[in-house]
Amino acid sequence: MDCWRAHEAGEKSADELRAVQDAAIRNAVKLQEDCGLGVVTDGEFRRGGWSRGFMEATGAFGFKPSKLVFRNEDGVETAAPAPVATRKIARRSPIVVGDFEFLRSITTATPKVTMPTPSHMHFGHFGEAADRCVYPDMAVWWDDLIAVYHEEVEALAAAGCTLLQIDEVPLTLCCDETNRAVARENGADPDALIDIYIDMVNRAVGDRPPEMRVLMHLCRGNMQGLWMGDGGYGPIAEKLFDRAQVDGFLMEYDSPRAGDFAPLQYLPKGKRAYLGIMSTKNPEVEAADLLKRRIEEASRYTDPEQLGLCPQCGFGSSAMSKFNVLDNPMTMEIEKQKLTRLVEVAEDIWG
């Protein structure tokens, strides 16, 4: 993190930053392998934020304050900025292809890379998610955005990528009446947005080659234990599970804000739901019996063979965010304990 900030201040070269990132990624991969994970990520160490790599590769987006708010149960609140396109959207450089190639070169596990879903570039500013002098027609904006995904997915497939994660926040925010009201105030119909956002996911990744699996991560925003939404998956579950052309879902389920497991009744055969009941915000390491009980509870609504376990979100949350207001309670040791527990429980249940 210090090297990132020094680089952005012009005090460290790109080569110096990359050397530090390479070392951090190697350490993160070793931690995951030591915990027994068969799928590993690079920890997104090459990005200043979870979606920032996508923004930089297109060279088209900036951030402006929106009416969305990060908050927690202690009453802490901070504004949640949202992207705005200020120039024509195009894939001016690879997004995660280089990340994938480096990751694959240092592990024998399955390498996974991540990108934000198209909805992230829209929700928050809605019809004003682009400079109207650049995009007087938002349909063209969507077309240009989806073209970026097509080019990146094609390049990832050519590089040998078999597992892509797309990170979805706005669909879960459409389960929260506060955020639905924000959409209405900005001239958008939240129920129509659900259909649009699922359609855009399908346009973005629906034509991938059969050897590439796509998993959708669903969360309600996560920044140092703050969040942007409350409410279960009920308002989106049936449409999302039935229509989204992805292979599985990584679902936030580590707090009562995520609701119960009843929406899993809509999970179709052939798709899997990985339950994020392992918190990445609460430093307490979950007991194995607790995790098993929650899986048993979820199994009342769907075939247990269609379930899996995952962390709720990333452990680092937002180390480089300019909008940080709280310290991250997680440590490397806590992360290792949690991931080891997760693998142990998964092996006990599914073998």
pLDDT tens-place string over residues 319-334? 444 445 556 678 889 9
The radius of gyration of the chain's CA atoms, rounded to the nearest angstrom, is 19
- CATH number of 37-350, picked from 3.30.360.10, 2.30.40.10, 1.10.287.110, 3.20.20.210: 3.20.20.210
Residue 73, CA atoms < 13 Å, CB-side half-sphere: 7
Q: Would you state the pLDDT for residue 92?
A: 97
Section 189-198 average pLDDT: 97
pLDDT at res. 76: 65
Structure confidence by residue, pLDDT tens digits, 259-268: 999 999 999 9
Nearest C-alpha neighbor of 1 from the set 73, 39, 64, 49: 49
The pLDDT-based confidence of 227 (bands split at 50, 70, 90) is: low
Q: What percent of the chain has pLDDT over 70?
A: 92
- Convert 317-336 into a string of H (helix), E (strand) and C (coil): CCCCCCCCCCCCCCCHHHHH
Provide DSSP, 54-88.
Answer: HHHHHT-EEEEEEEEEEE-TTS-EEEEEEEEE-S-
- 218 phi, psi to nearest 5 deg: -115, 125
The tokens describing 181, both together, are: 């009201």
Q: What is the enclosing helix (H) or strand (E) of 349?
A: helix 332-350
pLDDT at 75: 66
Task: State both tokens at 186.
Answer: 């900005």
pLDDT of residue 71: 67
Tens-digit pLDDT profile for residues 161-173: 999 999 999 999 9
Give pLDDT, residue 160.
98
The pTM of the full predicted model, rounded to 2 decimals, is 0.93
d(CA 247, CA 210): 11
Q: Categorize the per-residue pLDDT at 219 as very low, low, confident or very high, splitting at 50, 70 and 90.
A: confident
The four Cα atoms 286, 287, 288, 290 give a dihedral, to 10 degrees, of -90
Give the Cα separation of 174 and 171 in Å (integer): 5
Give 286-339 pLDDT, tens digit per residue.
999 999 999 999 999 999 999 999 999 888 754 444 445 556 678 889 999 999
> pLDDT, tens digit, for every residue of 55-77?
999 999 998 888 887 766 666 66
Phi, psi of 190 (to 5 degrees): -60, -30
Q: For position 37, what pLDDT does the model report?
A: 96
The more confident residue out of 3 and 216 is 216
Task: Return the SS3 of 223.
Answer: strand
What are the φ and ψ backbone dihedral angles of 79, each rounded to 5 degrees? -65, 145
Q: Minimum mean pLDDT among 95-109, 142-156, 241-255, 323-337: which range?
A: 323-337
pLDDT digits (tens, 9 = 90+) for 84-133: 999 999 999 999 999 999 999 999 999 999 999 999 999 999 999 999 99
| Cβ–Cβ under 8 Å, residues 348 and 287 | no
Residue 43 has a pLDDT of: 92
Residue 7 has pLDDT above 50, yes or no: yes
Enumerate the domain spans of the chain: 37-350
Burial class (CB in 10 A: 0-12, 13-18, 19+), 111: buried
The mean pLDDT of 4-18, rounded to a whole number, is 87
Cβ atoms within 10 A of the Cβ of 302, count? Answer: 21
| pLDDT given at position 323 | 46
